[in-house]
Amino acid sequence: MRPITSLIKINLKVNFGISVLRHKLKHQKDKRIEFIASAIAILVAICSLIFMYTFILMGLYRQSMAINQPGLIIAYGFVVTQLMTFIFGIIYIMSAFYFSNDLSILVPLPLTAGDVMLAKFITILANEYLVVLPMLLPPIIIYGINEIASPIFGIKAVILIIFAPIIPLAIATIIIMILMRFINLSRHKDALTIIGGVLSIFIVIALNVVSQNMTGTEEDMLFKAQLDLLEIVGKKFPPSLWASRGLVYGGTEGLLNFLVFIVVSLLLFVGLIALANRVFYKGLLAGQEASKKKVHRPIKDKSIKRHHPVFSLFMKEWKLFLRTPIYAVNGLIGIILMPILILLPIITEDSELQELQSLIHAPGAEMVITLIGIALIIFTATMTLIASTAISREGSTFWISKIIPISPREQIFAKLLHAMAIALIGIFITGSAYALILNVSPARLLVMLLIGSLASMAINILSLIIDVIKPKLDWDNPQEAVKKNINGLYGMLISFLIIGLLGFVVFLLFDRGEMAIYSAISVLLIILNFLALKLLFKKADKTYRKLEL
């Protein structure tokens, strides 16, 4: 048991950077200030999100109390948490199990495939608790305080929170391992992982649409017949029903549901280890063998086309982005999710949509609609995290960028073009969806696209500056370059600041008409882009060559 225990401890330390962080805080004073600033920024961001989430839950609790179903809030908490764990778990598992750089070290060691899988699974599980806790604690606390829950309720809640991510994560792991073993995915697993991640997003949205339709069509029945809403919600994902009933209900029924949830979690966990010993290494080695075959392919083209260095680097960024699933899914999720969320009222045939459309042409409403569209477009363009992780994603291969005979300015400009290309795709799709649903005129759509593009460029340039100054190059798993990169958070904070700045300008010029507002915003963004671009090139020339792995 000692080897597997040591491996789990090492994985957790590397995952959370405990040893490195302890060393930096102890021996590097400048790192202490940086750590404190980062901790404050993260704390503010997390607290803001939890506050909004709790506000929504309080409204849900009041509605559920009106129909005498207070436990509904806990059911929703478990449904959302476990669905998120399953969907994003697929991406994390694929990245950690089949793309991690430490696999070449772990495979030759005297450890079983189940040991290696268990260590990686527990590491992913530890990361999932960072999402599970803020998602489950608010509904449980709201219910417990309002219902004056007993100490037994608290004990069961702690146990259920610990077991909450195991079932969806185990199911996702089993699916991935079986596919990688029995289906020939080795040559196309990157593309299939990207497709799987995008499909997962559509599945969540489809479930949301079904949920809305169910709520709308059965609303009168629920209020008249007092139907068990807890069961309706739980049927979409049975484990959430077991967990919520086990926590809310008392007596034999509550205890049985509680035990079923725990037992199923343990059985899936044990079955996962047994399956890993049979198929994990076989699927992993099959993929490695396929990748080696590609090296021996002869070059068919006798002529070599020459391109400008910036264009060649731009294409390299696209290839790196598309061949690594964790990068592609995180980069595409924003430009896919936001347009669909905007179009949901059409998909669900929301009756309030017609009322909203009738108010658009009221005096002054068109300007407000345009400004809201600009804000949505800017927000969509900042959800990709492409610019704020542009250098970090190179990781251990950054030495190549240091030795190639291309100036840092050209290299960083290619990264900016790549970030802007993805942002512009999101801007166009989001703007078009917004214009379609609210009948926005082509002229106003053009204004939204132009101002949104200028704002997106400013955000991407400033985010690139942050990653140039302090990239995260030391990582073993591509997931770390994106999900555990504090630069992504800084990039989002920059986007909020720019949106706030533009909002302040609109507030000052609101009474002076649309042309004054759009002109002032455009001029401000052009100046900001010019200054930020100069600073980016200056920082690239000064620090690019000094960066060390």
- Both tokens of 400, joined, read 């190549």
Q: Which of 90-99, 197-206, 488-497 has the highest mean pLDDT?
A: 488-497
Q: What is the pLDDT of residues 415-474, one digit of tens each?
A: 999 999 988 888 888 888 888 888 888 888 999 999 999 999 999 999 999 888 888 887
d(C-alpha 423, C-alpha 386), whole Å: 9
Q: What is the pLDDT of residues 68-96, one digit of tens each?
A: 777 778 888 888 888 778 877 777 787 77
Q: Name 507's Cβ contacts closer than 8 Å, sequence gap at least 6.
A: none
Q: What is the pLDDT of residues 329-362, one digit of tens each?
A: 777 776 776 776 666 655 555 555 555 556 565 6
pLDDT at 290: 45
φ, ψ at 256 (rounded to 5°): -65, -45
Domain boundaries, the chain: 2-14+33-293, 309-543
Q: Name 187's Cβ contacts closer than 8 Å, sequence gap at least 6.
A: 290
Residue 224 has pLDDT above 50, yes or no: no
- Which of 111-125, 139-153, 230-244 is the least confident region? 230-244
Q: Residue with structure tokens 């195991």? A: 166
- For 248, counting Cβ atoms within 10 Å of its Cβ (0-12 exposed, 13-18 middle, 19+ buried), the class is buried
Q: Tell me how far CA of residue 510 lies from CA of 16, 213, 416, 506, 513, in angstroms.
A: 47, 39, 33, 5, 6
Q: Which helix (H) or strand (E) holds 533?
A: helix 514-543
Q: Which helix (H) or strand (E) holds 236?
A: none
d(C-alpha 426, C-alpha 420), whole Å: 10
Q: Name 383's Cβ contacts closer than 8 Å, sequence gap at least 6.
A: 333, 334, 335, 337, 338, 426
pLDDT at 231: 52
- Both tokens of 66, joined, read 């009106």
pLDDT at 454: 93
Q: Which residue has the higher pLDDT, 160 or 46?
A: 160
Average pLDDT over all residues of the chain = 76
pLDDT at 455: 92
Task: Answer whether 82's CB lies under 8 Å from 91's CB.
Answer: no
